[in-house]
Chains A and B, each alone.
Chain A
Amino acid sequence: LAKTTQPISMDSYEGQEVNITCSHNNIATNDYITWYQQFPSQGPRFIIQGYKTKVTNEVASLFIPADRKSSTLSLPRVSLSDTAVYYCLGQTRGFKTIFGAGTRLFVKA
């Protein structure tokens, strides 16, 4: 199983760019890296997914280097409402999804 490691928590201020890095040293060739966001008392919400290089959507960017042993979620100009837990997932072949403890991002005014 692809195990991921990410910081337990991060603090930021409104308007700043936030980068959360995730390590996944044993990622399999066919695995994709997926990031989810979770607010208190809600289910996780899909943010972005990628295989390699860079992926960008209206919410975030995902950078995956050539060796794919890590990835970085980039949130541009965060606001207070971006305070949440962010999960990096390394999925095995098939459909089991392994969540780690996630990174708790706290955005301050």
Chain B
Amino acid sequence: DAKTTQPPSMDCAEGRAANLPCNHSTISGNEYVYWYRQIHSQGPQYIIHGLKNNETNEMASLIITEDRKSSTLILPHATLRDTAVYYCIVRPWNNAGGTSYGKLTFGQGTILTVHP
């Protein structure tokens, strides 16, 4: 019962921007959009998250539509090391502490392949 929809796979040329879309049409007002990625045989790596404003960090940019029903993760200059499975996850924000509320539920993600 994943709450997000992502394309199963995408390709990108090295040095170009990779734009990974995600649909989350049933997102609730208290849910954030999180992005993680998993390189083969490793644990997932946190990339970025946002609520309604666009966010940018050293790894990527996150663009969230005004109605919050979809978002796009942007890797501005993809490298071969960015080849991974990218997961878009919606999760309620909880600052109460010490509970399982807001656990991450992984869907199938998008396999991004960056080629030379």
A and B: bona fide binding partners? no
Chain A interface (Cβ within 8 Å of chain B)?
A: none
